[in-house]
Amino acid sequence: MAKAALLVVDVQNDFFPGGALPVPHADAMIPDLDRVISAFADAGLPVFFTRDWHPVNHCSFKALGGPWPPHCVQGTPGAEIHKSIPMPAGSQLVSKGDDPDRDAYSGFQGTDLADRLGKLGVTDVYIGGLAVEYCVRTTTKDALLDGFAAHVIVDCVGGLEVRKGDSAAALREMEDSGASTVTSSEVIALVGAQQ
């Protein structure tokens, strides 16, 4: 039987309005995401949070030739998980992007996330968070490459939309790679049925 885990990608202050690299309307997804997190916690299913954990001299920053302003710098308020998003007892935190010379959009890149999921017997990962064209997309594709069934929760993601249509294109790309798209209500019903 399938065992599900929830991956909450980079819901850090810097990616919300007022942060260093804000995703437009990111606040709008919080209520749905909170309900999904609660459903997984109530069912005793694993919940993982990924976070960017950049050193001050990270290669993705504009000052070092990268595309982004400094964001999610280790130990700063911008790197903290948004206060309106609960981290249930027993949830696990996965830090990425902590090597100054390597970019790491995916929660699987340079981390032990795949091993942690495997040890728990997880077969299916449900993914929400920010930003859909970057860290959500690469995390989803890497989950598939590591042999997990991947499901993107479409009302629990948000996009930077550097170019108009980027978010929709990213969702199509993930589906073309073998991921499915689901709504928060569908996930909550599915998780409730597993209890």
CA–CA dist 158, 26 (Å, integer): 6
* pLDDT given at position 195: 61
Tokens of 120: 């728990």
Query: Residue 79: is it exposed, middle or buried by C-beta count within 10 angstroms (0-12/13-18/19+)?
Result: buried
Catalytic sites, residue numbers: 10, 96, 135
Q: What is the pTM of this model?
A: 0.96
Pairing assessment for the beta strands 180-182 and 149-158 based on DSSP bridges: parallel
Residue-level pLDDT, tens digit, the chain, 195 residues: 579 999 999 999 999 999 999 999 999 999 999 999 999 999 999 999 999 999 999 999 999 999 999 999 999 999 999 999 999 999 999 999 999 999 899 999 999 999 999 999 999 999 999 999 999 999 999 999 999 999 999 999 999 999 999 999 999 999 999 999 999 999 999 988 776
Q: What stretches of the chain show up as alpha helix (H) in DSSP?
A: 30-42, 113-119, 137-145, 166-176, 184-194
For the chain, domains (ranges, CATH) are 4-194 (3.40.50.850)
Greatest Cα pair distance in the chain: 50
